[in-house]
Structure 1
Amino acid sequence: MATERVSPACTGSSLLQPISQIINLPLDQVNFVVCQLCALLTAFWFRLYLHPNRTSPFVRHVVATLLGLYFALFCFGWYALHFLVQSGLTYGIMILTGVEHMHKYCLVVALGYLSFCQITRVYVFDYGMYSADFTGPMMVITQKITSLAFEIHDGMAREEEHLTPGQKILAIRRMPSLLEYFSYNCNFMGILAGPTCSYNDYIAFIEGGPCRHRELEANRKTNGKLKQSEPSPNTAVVGKLATCFFSLMVFLSVCKVFPVERNIDNDFIASTPFYARAVYLYLSMLTTRPKYYFVWTLADAINNAAGFGFNGYNMDGSTRWDLISNLRITDIELATSFKVFLDNWNIQTAHWLKRVCYERCPYNPTAATFILSAMWHGAYPGYYLTFLTGIVVTLAARAVRHNVRPYFLGSPAHKLLYDTITWAATQIAICYTVVPFVLLSVGPSIKFYRSWCFSLHICCVLLAVALPVKPRHLRLKDQHTAPLQAPDPALAPAQRPLEATDGNCNQKAKTS
């Protein structure tokens, strides 16, 4: 019976079928976890024995690419060829069309190819399956392809004075070779679960050169001790593996206790008071997050084990290995606004959306960004319901923050009260918004919203209409005309403006 359940969903190797039957997990998920654990061990070997000091960039590129393609073939079988086709098509576009318009063509082709694969998988093969599938890695590759195309366009087709500080840092001044391109897209550290990284940072990692974030004084003394020029990632990796283990245990032990589908159960809706349903909604969505914590933290640990992801030093002299981290769990669970939650969830995707769409879209960038995110995620209708709801929730949250928050900043007690209320409101708003993302289909999603009388939609629309917020171009104008202020020391380094963390990186970007 177990064999019948797992075989149709798996397109990769059946070597681990006995393990799948023993632990009663789908074979494709077993293949995925085993490949990621093998990638973790390989990453240590890659850092120690193929170090850039003793190995040429050519060898490191070749090994990283071949290992990545092997893991992809093991997990997805011949479907892994889509990774090569998508990357090959867009590289041909980059070479043939020139730097003036290739970023637009690459965005259309990469996103179109991804959407075609997602639509065929959803509506032809396995609608509603939660198993690992070949379009997951393609989503990350799509981010890399489009980011690279826009960064090449910024570096080779635009005047530097027209670039934002962030665009100057990431701009690429020469066309990547075919090997560099495939290594960036398909390396073993990120081919299965990402995360996305900038091309300049990846090439600096492969070649052993300085990344945009490195301090020139990396050997400076701190607390009387000389810092290592190349700090060890072992402590960071062990900490992230501990987080992975804890997240996996929580997910396996608690997820089935609070199934999301109960939120649309007729008996549950009829017999449960509204406040109890709100609490259950929060708990049911809370217990779905650890699986993402597990996957993304493990992917981050793999990159760190290979020596990739160092992001400088904290004020106390400790190392930061969060350059390509995809989440900050504490900030997610304690978020007091919709924006703070989104800024700390799937961080690299948020950066991609900002750089490719939000910063460049001249009309209604918020709506355009949510629509692009929905298209990138896939063909399930629930995704579009989630992101369309996210638009009105974001506008309402922005209106409340601009108009209400200033009245609570007079004293610590008032600020604590505001934070407590906004934490509860944020958590419920997030859960309400993403239920369709989990349920996937239109019918169940609308049933859930109807059981809540579309209350959050109505409240958000009223708030967005009633509370005025300056248009984006006026807010940016106010920021440019306001006196320059030092960044808030209470913010984490990754949350500060780019100018605060990467202030002396322009020259490095030019020579990357």
Structure 2
Amino acid sequence: MGWLQLLFLHPVSLYQGAAFPFALLFNYLCSMDSFSTPARHLFLLAGGGALAWAAMGSFAVLIFIPAVCAVVLISSVGPQEVHRWTFFVQMSWQTLCHLGLHYTEYYLQEPPSTRFCITLSSLMLLTQRITSLSLDICEGKVEASGPRSRSSFSEHLRKALPYFSYLLFFPALLGGPLCSFQRFQARVRGSSPPCPRRSFWALTWRGLQILGLECLLVVTRRVVSAGAGLADCRQLQCIYVMWSTAGLFKLTYYFHWLLDDSLLCAAGFGSESGKSPGEEGYIPDADIWTLETTHRISLFTRKWNQSTARWLRRLVFQQGRAWPLLQTFTFSAWWHGLHPGQVFGFLCWAVMVEADYLIHTFANLFIRSWPMWLLYRTLTWAHTQLIIAYIMLAVQVRSPSSLWLLCNSYNSVFPMVYCILLFLLAKRKHKLN
């Protein structure tokens, strides 16, 4: 469970916290007319460069190189081809970096550098922004100069500054919900949020949530560390081990998502004032209430890391002609690094979502009484939480031996039940059709 320790000792939260004063300073400067739009872009870009160098050290070059390549492609390739080229170059670069991690972990049998892991996480977020921007250009939502523009070098740099600033701006460099280029531009060109008091109370409420999650993290971490692991548990005890360990993972994700969301809001990128016409409103990544109360795996999937889920839906699901759900989860495994546990976990997740659709469709047809519906909701909620815990552990474990321990435990009963129901209900649906 080396990756488990790495996740909790991850210093990203420290760097995000250190960036808060600069986010508040940017928000304050935006209220001043003397703080021009190019100066705002330069402030965000300089902050991103400084934060990258502080958090990643020399590995920051792995972030700067694809950002420069993406801007060059946006400025030199036509709107219809820009997405294909940027997607190919960025995913190739990210895959090479992930292969470096594979080489360190599996071949050299050495723990990876913490700075390198931070770089890979930031690189994945950069992939989101690059592909989101290229899709916007391809769909005509954003105008790019293109290859026909004949301008001086300084003019090209001036036009490229918003792109560089968007790809590397410091509030979203290490985390946070995906911010579209239109929202980014609207915020940079606009003034400060219209209601500072409302922003203050919103940040205060997020701060209290972060503090509460930190307390829960401390308690849960002690409980998990004091108990048995997957290698030591026996029979039904393994179910408790899986559930408690997955709970620790979820609390850690909630903590980081709220912190990242607070940083974006402190800089003014989370307010509705940055919303452009026709664009979906700002949605934070963590909808904790829905995630912890839903009895549907499909709803949990849409609400888990919401901005990434929307990005995957736009990038893969809506473009896929055959088996779009399977394509989406396969790409998600690729984007995350293609570790054995990730491949198994995301493919299992795809099957569970497909089963979830069929199970609840038939349940809505045949369950009529209120007591039966309440029992059904309770059982499916518990089953959903246990399946998600199973998937989460599969995705997080790094060694094939740890993955085998999980698959060989009693925990595999829960996804197996949904697989059997998927087979039976799909067969029945085929007969009814």
1:456 Cα offset (Å): 3.8
Per the alignment, residue 38 of structure 2 pairs with 58
Corresponding residue pairs, total: 401
CA distance in 1 between partners of 2:428 and 2:196 (Å):
46
CA distance in 1 between partners of 2:286 and 2:96 (Å):
28
Q: Are 1:184 and 2:184 counterparts?
A: no
Q: Are 1:146 and 2:134 counterparts?
A: no
Q: Are 1:467 and 2:428 counterparts?
A: no
Q: How does 1:66-77 map to 2 (within 5 A)?
A: 66-77=46-57
List, as ranges, runs of 4+ consecutive aligned residues in structure 1 with deviation greater than 6 Å: none
Q: Which moved more, 1:453-462 or 1:80-89?
A: 453-462
Per the alignment, residue 317 of structure 2 pairs with 358
1:201-224 residue CA offsets vs partner (Å, 9 max, x unmatched): 1111111189xxx9xxxxxxxxxx
1:254 Cα offset (Å): 1.8
CA distance in 2 between partners of 1:143 and 1:260 (Å):
38
CA distance in 2 between partners of 1:56 and 1:469 (Å):
63
* Partner residue of 2:64 out of 84, 88, 91: 84
Are the counterparts in 1 of residues 104 and 112 from structure 2 also a CA contact under 8 Å? no
Q: How does 1:356-395 map to 2 (within 5 A)?
A: 356-395=315-354
Judged with a 3 Å threshold, the aligned counterparts in structure 2 of structure 1 residues 74 and 154 are, in CA distance, closer, same or farther, namely: same
The letter of the residue matching 1:183 is: S
TM-score, normalising length from structure 2?
0.85
Q: How does 1:223-302 map to 2 (within 5 A)?
A: 232-259=198-225, 262-266=228-232, 268-269=233-234, 272=235, 274=236, 276-302=237-263
Aligned to 1:250, the other structure's residue is in SS state helix
* Partner residue of 1:438 out of 387, 396, 419: 396
Are the counterparts in 1 of residues 390 and 411 from structure 2 also a CA contact under 8 Å? no
Are the counterparts in 2 of residues 371 and 387 from structure 1 also a CA contact under 8 Å? yes
* Partner residue of 1:195 out of 159, 177, 198: 177
Q: Are 1:38 and 2:18 counterparts?
A: yes
Q: Equivalent pairs: percent with the same residue?
A: 23
Per the alignment, residue 428 of structure 1 pairs with 386
Judged with a 3 Å threshold, the aligned counterparts in structure 2 of structure 1 residues 141 and 453 are, in CA distance, closer, same or farther, namely: closer
Judged with a 3 Å threshold, the aligned counterparts in structure 2 of structure 1 residues 469 and 403 are, in CA distance, closer, same or farther, namely: farther
* Partner residue of 1:97 out of 77, 85, 88: 77
CA distance in 2 between partners of 1:454 and 1:39 (Å):
42
1:376 Cα offset (Å): 0.8
Structure number with the higher helix fraction is 2
Judged with a 3 Å threshold, the aligned counterparts in structure 2 of structure 1 residues 130 and 327 are, in CA distance, closer, same or farther, namely: farther
CA distance in 1 between partners of 2:213 and 2:405 (Å):
30
Judged with a 3 Å threshold, the aligned counterparts in structure 2 of structure 1 residues 457 and 127 are, in CA distance, closer, same or farther, namely: farther
Structure 2 gaps, min length 5: 147-158, 274-280
Judged with a 3 Å threshold, the aligned counterparts in structure 2 of structure 1 residues 99 and 470 are, in CA distance, closer, same or farther, namely: farther
Aligned to 1:101, the other structure's residue is in SS state helix
Are the counterparts in 1 of residues 238 and 410 from structure 2 also a CA contact under 8 Å? no
1:86-135 residue CA offsets vs partner (Å, 9 max, x unmatched): 11112222233312222122112111111111220332278665945211
Judged with a 3 Å threshold, the aligned counterparts in structure 2 of structure 1 residues 261 and 198 are, in CA distance, closer, same or farther, namely: farther
Judged with a 3 Å threshold, the aligned counterparts in structure 2 of structure 1 residues 414 and 49 are, in CA distance, closer, same or farther, namely: same
Q: Are 1:106 and 2:86 counterparts?
A: yes
1:466 Cα offset (Å): 2.0
Q: Which moved more, 1:128-137 or 1:79-88?
A: 128-137
